[in-house]
Amino acid sequence: MTGRDIELLIVEDEEAAAQATAERLADAARAGAEIALTGGSTPRRAYELAAAREADWSRAGAWWGDERCVPPEDERSNYRLARESLLDRLAHPPTIHRIRGELEPTEAADEYEGELGDTQVDLILLGIGPDGHVASLFPEALTLRERGRRVVAAEPGLEPFVERVTLTIPALCSARSIVFLVTGADKAEAARAAFVDEPSERTPSSLVRAADGPTLAILDRAAAASIKK
C-alpha cells in the first residue's frame, strides 16, 4: 500500500489498541529499526506493553516526531513519557536521539535536523489530537507548507501551550511505514477527517501518509465511531 492508501485496524478497546501497537513496536525494535515515537498520553500503555514484549532494543534507534519545549524531566516532556513507560524498562535500550526541548525552539530544531541528517526512519508512531493535529503540526499552521526542512519550531494549537519542535509533513511522509494510534470518543470526528475525508490543511493528520510504504491506523471502537465501514 502506498500513497494515499491507509489500512484501518479497528479493535474493541484501548487495551487492544495498545496491544496491537506494542506488537509492531516490538517487532521493529527486534529488527533493528529506526523508530520515531509519539507523545501525548495515548501511547503510554503501548510503550509499557512493547517493553514487556521485547527487552532488547539495542539494535534500534529511538527518535521523536515532536517535542514540547520543556526540560526532559518536565512532566509535559514527550521524552519523559517514553523514558518512564518504555526506555527505562528495557534491559538493552536503543540509541536515543532526543529532541532537546530545553533549548530555544529554533536551536533545538536546527540541532535535531542535523542529528536526523538523511536517516531513513523505518517506523513512525503518531497520535492525533481532537482537532486533527499530528506531531506538532496544527490546523492551518504555516508549518504545514514547509517543504525544505525536516524539522521546524512550531507554535502550540492546543494544551500544553508551550512551544514545540516537530518533524514536517515531508519528513513524516518519508518514513518507510507509519502507524497511527487513536483511541477514545473525543477523537472520533478527527479520526474520520484524518483517515476517510479528503486531505485538508484543516486536518493535518490527513496529509500524512507514507509516500512509499504502508500507513496503518489502529483505532478502538470509540475512536472509529464516525467511520462508516
CB 104 within 8 A of CB 165: no
Least Å distance, CB 67 to ligand 6PG, is: 7
Q: Does 214 bind ligand 6PG (CB under 6 A)?
A: no
Instruction: Give the one residue of 34, 66, 122, 163 binding ligand 6PG; rule: CB under 6 A.
Output: 66
Q: Which stretch binds ligand 6PG (CB under 6 A): 6-14, 16-24, 40-48, 52-60?
A: 40-48
3-state secondary structure 29-76: HHCCCEEEECCCCCCHHHHHHHHHHCCECCCCEEEECEEECCCCCCCC
Least Å distance, CB 131 to ligand 6PG, is: 9
Instruction: Give the one residue of 25, 90, 108, 135 binding ligand 6PG; rule: CB under 6 A.
Output: 135
Q: Which stretch binds ligand 6PG (CB under 6 A): 32-40, 55-63, 93-101, 169-177?
A: 32-40
Q: Which of residues 81-120 bind ligand 6PG (CB under 6 A)?
A: none
Q: Does 68 bind ligand 6PG (CB under 6 A)?
A: yes
Helix axes 44-53, 78-85, angle to 10 degrees: 40
d(CA 38, CA 82): 8
Which residue type is seen at 138?
Answer: F
Instruction: Give the one residue of 14, 18, 39, 94 binding ligand 6PG; rule: CB under 6 A.
Output: 39
How is 84-98 classified by DSSP, letter by letter? HHTGGG-SB--EE--
d(CA 83, CA 106): 24
Q: Does 61 bind ligand 6PG (CB under 6 A)?
A: no
